[in-house]
C-alpha cells in the first residue's frame, strides 16, 4: 500500500495593509527623497492609498515630508535595525548554515576571521568521513596560502591588508605555495573579482579548499567560510558546483547578518 504523503502546511495568509506599507518603506529606503506619484507608479498602488500610508508613517516617526511633496525615510528604522544587531551573533547565525553545507557535501567546513597577520578558526563542522582534516577552533592559519586567508586579505581595506602582510614572510610550505608578493597580489585581485578563493595544496599537501566571503550589514567582510577536501575525494569536474554551494552558504550567512541579497 502506497504511503500517503504528509499534507503541506497551509500558507500563512498575508495582511495586505502590512505588505503594502512595507513596500512603501522599502521604496523610501532606496533614495534620499521621492515623490508621491513616483512611489505610486513603482509599487503599483493608487496615490490616495500611498498618501494615507505616508501620513501614517509620518505620524509614527518613520517618514517625513521634504521639499514640498517629496518624502524621505527617517532614522527610526535604522535605530530599530541597530538594536536588532545587538542580538545577532556571528556564530549562531553561521552554525546551522555551515552544518547544512557540511551535511550536503560531506566535508569539513570552517569559518575564520582576521586576527592581525593570521586567520583564526572560530567554527568547525567535522566531515562525515573517517579520514578528516586536522584542525581546531582557535587555531591560527597563514593568510597567504589558505582559502579563508585569501578571502580575508582580498576583501580587506588597502591599509588593513598592508598591515596584515607587513610582517609575513611568504615561505614555500608546499610546492604550490605562492612565494612572491606579485603572485599573491594577482591572486587576491582574482579572488575579489570572482568572489571565492581556492587553496590548491598550498598550505598542506593533498588538501584542497574553497572559501567565500561573509559580509555584514555595512558591506564589510567579517569572516570567511570554507570547505576542505582531501585530494582523493576532490573531483575537478565537480568544482564548479561546489563553488556555487560554498558561495551560496556564505551569502545565506551574510543575509542573516543584514547584508542585502543580490538578485
Q: What is the mean pLDDT of the chain?
A: 87
Q: What per-residue confidence (pLDDT) applies to 132?
A: 57
Per residue in 173-232, pLDDT (tens digit) is: 999 999 999 999 999 999 999 999 999 999 999 999 999 999 998 899 999 999 999 988
Distance CA 56, CA 50 (A): 10
Q: What is the mean pLDDT of residues 244-262?
A: 90
**pLDDT tens figures, 90-99:** 888 899 999 9
Q: Is the pTM of this model over 0.85?
A: no
More confident residue, 66 or 128: 66
Q: How confident is the model at residue 3 (pLDDT cuts 50, 70, 90)?
A: very low
pLDDT more than 90, % of the chain: 57
pLDDT grade, residue 89 (50/70/90)? confident
- 134 compared with 147, residue with greater pLDDT: 147
CB 196 within 8 A of CB 244: no
> Whats the size of the chain, residue-wise?
263
Helix axes 239-256, 90-105, angle to 10 degrees: 160
H helices present in the chain, as ranges = 16-28, 36-43, 47-60, 76-85, 90-105, 147-154, 158-165, 181-194, 239-256
State the pLDDT at residue 143. Answer: 93
Average pLDDT over residues 133-156: 87
Q: Select 17-76's CATH number: 1.10.10.10, 3.40.50.620, 1.10.10.370, 3.40.47.10.
A: 1.10.10.10
How many helices (H) and strands (E) in the chain? 9, 9
By mean pLDDT, which of 20-34, 77-91, 238-252 is the weakest? 77-91
* CATH hierarchy code of domain 90-256: 3.30.450.40
Domain boundaries, the chain: 17-76, 90-256
Amino acid at each position: 500500500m502506497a504511503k500517503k504523503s504528509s499534507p503541506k502546511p497551509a500558507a500563512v495568509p498575508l495582511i495586505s495593509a502590512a505588505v503594502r506599507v512595507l513596500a512603501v518603506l522599502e521604496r523610501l529606503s532606496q533614495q534620499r527623497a521621492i515623490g508621491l506619484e513616483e512611489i505610486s507608479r513603482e509599487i503599483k498602488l493608487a496615490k490616495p492609498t500611498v498618501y494615507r500610508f505616508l501620513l501614517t508613517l509620518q505620524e509614527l516617526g518613520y517618514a517625513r515630508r521634504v521639499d514640498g511633496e517629496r518624502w524621505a525615510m527617517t532614522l527610526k528604522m535604522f535605530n530599530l535595525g541597530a538594536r536588532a544587531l545587538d542580538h545577532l551573533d556571528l556564530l549562531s547565525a553561521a552554525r546551522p548554515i555551515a552544518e547544512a553545507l557540511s551535511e550536503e557535501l560531506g566535508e569539513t567546513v570552517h569559518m575564520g576571521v582576521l586576527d592581525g597577520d593570521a586567520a583564526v578558526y572560530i567554527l568547525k563542522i567535522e566531515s562525515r568521513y573517517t579520514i578528516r582534516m586536522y584542525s581546531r577552533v582557535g587555531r591560527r592559519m597563514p593568510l597567504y596560502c589558505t582559502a579563508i586567508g585569501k578571502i580575508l586579505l582580498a576583501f580587506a581595506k588597502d591599509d588593513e591588508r598592508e598591515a596584515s602582510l607587513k610582517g609575513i614572510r611568504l615561505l614555500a610550505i608546499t610546492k604550490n605555495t605562492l612565494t612572491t608578493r606579485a603572485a599573491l597580489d594577482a591572486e587576491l585581485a582574482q579572488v575579489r573579482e570572482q568572489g571565492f578563493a581556492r587553496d590548491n595544496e598550498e598550505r598542506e599537501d593533498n588538501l584542497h579548499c574553497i572559501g567565500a566571503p561573509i559580509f555584514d550589514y555595512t558591506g564589510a567582510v567579517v569572516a570567511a567560510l570554507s570547505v576542505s577536501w582531501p585530494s582523493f575525494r576532490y573531483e575537478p569536474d565537480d568544482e564548479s558546483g561546489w563553488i556555487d554551494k560554498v558561495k551560496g552558504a556564505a551569502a545565506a550567512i551574510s543575509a542573516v547578518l543584514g547584508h542585502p541579497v543580490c538578485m
